[in-house]
Amino acid sequence: MDHGYQQHTNTNAHLEYQSGQGRLNILGFWVFLGAEVALFSTLFATYFVLMHRTANGPVSSELFQVPSVLIMTFLLLTSSFTCGLAIHEMRRSNLKGVIIWLVVTLLLGAGFLGFEIKEFIEYTHEGVTLSTSAYWSAFFVLTGTHGLHVTLGLGWIILIMIQLKQRGLTPTTTSKVFISSLYWHFLDVVWIFIFTGVYLIGMVMHHG
């Protein structure tokens, strides 16, 4: 073969890995996730450094609520699971199954987002905003950045579902589905750390 790498095809693989460009895109996305780790780490670092700097304002344990955080956590965790099932169906060449599980994933993700927005609105009513104190600035920007990622993910998956409807399962569409699934799982990974580092610790921490 004297084609560029992008054109090397390999029929002996899952659809999403069959085209050269598909393989490159998946690998590139892993690398991009590495960059995302650095991005969120910086936000976490900021959050932890500013953790006690509430400037005599409200502290986290006064506002965080276990039930709503738990619901959010399980919504996102389950959506990560259903997203994985969508990939499983994709590898069984079952387009209908892919679409169904993706829709379930989207609904769960939207539910998560709804709870997050509700939480932010409640805090605002309590008078806690981005400008309340360094601590709350860090809180809103960390969780907000994650929320923004979820929002973009929802939009992105919808776009890909349209393409699935138009074109079916091809090497190109499946690699797109696979990449968006990586993104979605990654957002759950970030949330695990927010759940642990922000909410759990924030609920029991002593404020100095």
Partner 1 sequence: MDNQKQNSSLVDNRFPWKHFVGYLLSVVLTLMALWITFSSGFSLSIIFAIIIVLAILQAVLQLLMFMHITERNSKIQTGTMLYAAFIAITIVAGSIWVMSAGHAAH
Partner 2 sequence: MKWDQFFITDEPLIVGAGISILLTGLGIIFVLTYLKKWKWLWNEWLTTVDHKKIGIMYILFAILMLFRGGVDALMMRTQLAVPNAHFLDAQHYNEIFTTHGTIMILFMAMPFLIGLINVVIPLQIGARDVAYPYLNAVSFWTFFFGACLFNISFVIGGSPSAGWTSYMPLAGNELSPGPGQNYYLLGLQISGIGTLLTGINFLVTILKMRAKGMTLLRMPMFTWSTLITCVIIIFAFPILTVALALMTFDRLFGSHFFTLASGGMDMLWANLFWLWGHPEVYIVILPAFGMFSEIISTFSRKTLFGYKAMVYSMLVIAGLSFVVWVHHFFTMGSGAAVNSFFSITTMAIGIPTGVKIFNWLFTMYKGKISVTTPMLWSLGFIVNFVIGGVTGVMLAMGAADYQYHNTYFLISHFHYVLIAGTVFGCFAGLHFWYPKMVGYKLNERIGKWCFWIFTIGFNICFFPMYILGLDGMPRRIYTYNASDGWTELNIVATIGAFMMGIGFILLVYNVYYSFRYAKREQTGDAWDGRTLEWSTTSAIPPHYNFAKIPEVTGLDGFWRSKQEKETENVEYKPIHMPSYSGRPFVMSAFLFISGFGLVFEWWAIAILGAIGTLICMVLRSFDYDDGYYVNVEEIQKTESVYKEV
Residues of this chain that interact with partner 1 (CB under 8 A) are 7, 9, 11-15, 17-19, 23, 26-27, 30-31, 33-34, 37-38, 41-42, 44-46, 48-49, 66, 70, 73-74, 77-78, 80-81, 83-85, 87-88, 91-93, 170-171, 181-182, 185-186, 188-189, 192-193, 195-197, 200-201, 203-206
- Of the candidates 76, 28, 77, 7, the one whose C-alpha atom is nearest the C-alpha of residue 176 is 28
Q: Binding partner of residue 171 among partner 2, partner 1, none, CB under 5 to 8 Å per kind?
A: partner 1
At position 101, the amino acid (one-letter code) is W
The neighbour count for residue 113, using CB atoms within 10 Å, is 19
Does 160 help bind partner 2 (rule: CB under 8 A)?
yes
The least CB distance from residue 66 to partner 2, in Å, is 26
Q: Does 208 bind partner 2 (CB under 8 A)?
A: no
Of 37, 26, 164, 185, the residue nearest 105 (C-alpha) = 185
Among 17, 32, 115, 193, binds partner 2 (CB under 8 A): 32
- What's the CA gap between 146 and 166, in Å, rounded? 30
**How far, in Å, CA of 84 to CA of 129, rounded?**
36
